[in-house]
Amino acid sequence: MSEIVVAAETETAVDVAIIGAGAAGATAAGMLAKRGISVALIASHHRHPPEYRAEKIGEAQIAMIDEAGLGAAARSVFTAFDGCWLRRFGHIVERDPKREYGGDYGAVVDAMRGALPAGVAQIVGRVETIETGPDQQFLRLADGRSVRSRLLVMSTGLSEAALKKAGMSRDVYSRHHSLTAGFDLSRPPSDFPFPSLVWAGDGPSDKLAYLTLFPIGNAMRANLFVYRSPFEDWTRELRDDPNRTLNEMMPAFRREYGELAVSGPVMIRPIDLARTLDIERDGVVAVGDAFMTVCPITGTGMDKALNDAVILARDHIPEWLKTPGMSAAKLASFYADPAKRARDANAEKISVESRSIRFDQSPRWRLRRLRSTLFGRFRHLLPHGHAHAGGEPHMRSSA
Ligand SMILES: Cc1cc2nc3c(=O)[nH]c(=O)nc-3n(C[C@H](O)[C@H](O)[C@H](O)COP(=O)(O)OP(=O)(O)OC[C@H]3O[C@@H](n4cnc5c(N)ncnc54)[C@H](O)[C@@H]3O)c2cc1C
């Protein structure tokens, strides 16, 4: 993997400054550099801190990283695998041959940052003050360095602190919407008959959305998605005694594929759904999780973050730079982009609906639950390729 080459200048002047070097920030920087636009990427750390999130993506997401010129670097740290079995209502209902990729998020982001062209000013430091306006943006770092730009891109992920400095705020509209856990299994991928697996929950009572198993290196990695609170006993038990908790929740797994045995730590993360408010401001745009978060159960978070970066840097910024000024009215074209709006709306809708179909007691959702259950029970009698129909919101299995 290439080293991340950090700029040492005390004053940097660029067309575009990006705060936050996650998937969205690195992709936007790569896209802009390919177009000859001067860009500074400001990261809080030299290397992305170890963090459990987005460990599996599909070809469509890799294609967007490719478009930024960073695909080869990302692939070098991903484990590629071909095929995913989907188990619902007691049956394997689909054996999808598609290629997917498993990897550690921090390692992937670092590889992308390491592959950015030398022309990208990569700055590591803590942004202390942000001044934005219709013509020029100014950032001061804690160590006194400064960055001037015509446009500021906030790709600061879940952190609210930097958004506040840019005059934005967060609205958490569904706290503890779901909970996810990542861990390795003690058995290697070769011990299982599938290349990767999505094992969906059986109904509202198990509170399981799904468990997905896929290879990362020589290990079988597990990402578990449940509708649980971080404070309930079950969550504590998952941390303290994962083998017993998992096998009790999924007794059929043991019968079909043997014991679920965990190796190493279980990383548990509660998930909130949030939107960023006051985004229409002079000189600054928000992308990826800094714009809005979705439920990882839907597998749309990375897709949405990368899509934001690609359409912003490919379709909007080059146009904006052709004329003077960066007024809020000019930047509104990004938030109004039909490709962005459609993706965001779909991700938000299925984030909310995937929960409603399990727990909402209104007649509408009872009916959809019934349709989904009936469809699922008899799905194996239908022609191949109909695994996702019925009342269930359509989720990507590459979550
Ligand atoms: C537990 C979990 C599991 C997930 N699983 C999936 C999944 O399976 N599939 C999927 O598609 N999506 C998943 N997601 C969502 C996905 O991870 C995100 O949508 C995506 O990573 C967002 O990328 P981003 O670049 O917008 O933000 P991030 O990757 O969070 O990047 C933001 C960056 O900004 C930096 N930063 C913040 N403040 C500052 C500052 N002041 N100065 C400098 N830098 C700063 C941060 O350190 C970070 O590096 C998951 C999310 C979580 C939390």
Q: Mean pLDDT lowest for which of 107-116, 220-229, 309-318, 385-394?
A: 385-394
Determine the average pLDDT of the residues in 137-165: 96
Sign of the C-alpha dihedral computed for residues 159, 123, 301 and 284 taken in this order: positive
Backbone angles phi, psi at 33, to 5 degrees: -60, -40
User: What are the tens digits of pLDDT across the range 314-364?
Assistant: 999 999 999 999 999 999 999 999 999 999 999 999 998 888 777 777 878
User: What are the tens digits of pLDDT across the range 297-318?
Assistant: 999 999 999 999 999 999 999 9
Nearest to 216 by CA among 81, 364, 44: 81
pLDDT band at 286 (very low <50, low <70, confident <90, very high): very high
Residue 307 confidence (pLDDT): 97
Pairing between β-strand 79-88 and β-strand 197-200 as defined by DSSP bridges:
parallel
Domain range summary for the chain, segments of one domain joined by + = 11-79+102-173+273-349
Residue 398 confidence (pLDDT): 47
Nearest residue (CA) to ligand 1, atom 3:
53
**Cβ–ligand 1 contact at 288 (below 6 Å):** yes
User: What are the tens digits of pLDDT across the range 30-41?
Assistant: 999 999 999 999
- Helix/strand/coil (H/E/C) assignment for every residue in 161-182: HHHHHCCCEEEEEEEEEEEEEE
Residue 87 confidence (pLDDT): 95
**Cβ–ligand 1 contact at 391 (below 6 Å):** no
Distance between Cα 13 and ligand 1 center (Å): 26
Chain-centroid distance, C-alpha 7: 28
pLDDT band at 124 (very low <50, low <70, confident <90, very high): very high
| Distance, CA of 395 to CA of 399 (rounded, Å) | 9
**Cβ–ligand 1 contact at 181 (below 6 Å):** no
Q: Mean pLDDT lowest for which of 150-159, 374-383, 388-397?
A: 388-397
> Looking at the predicted structure, is the pLDDT value of residue 257 above 90?
yes
Name residue, tokens 């799905």. 379
> Looking at the predicted structure, is the pLDDT value of residue 187 above 50?
yes
Q: In testing the pocket of ligand 1, which one of 44, 45, 145 has its CB within 8 Å of the most ligand atoms?
A: 44
Full-model pTM: 0.92
The CATH architecture assigned to 11-79+102-173+273-349 reads 3-Layer(bba) Sandwich (3.50)
Distance between Cα 380 and ligand 1 center (Å): 37
Residues in Cβ contact with 135 at an 8 Å cutoff, skipping those fewer than 6 apart: 150, 283, 324, 325, 326
Residue 1 confidence (pLDDT): 57
Residue 303 confidence (pLDDT): 96
Residue 379 confidence (pLDDT): 59
Q: Are 16 and 149 in contact (CB under 8 A)?
A: yes
Closest atom of ligand 1 to CA, residue 304: 19
pLDDT band at 377 (very low <50, low <70, confident <90, very high): low
Distance between Cα 157 and ligand 1 center (Å): 5
3-state secondary structure of 323: coil
Determine the average pLDDT of the residues in 120-140: 97
Closest atom of ligand 1 to CA, residue 156: 34
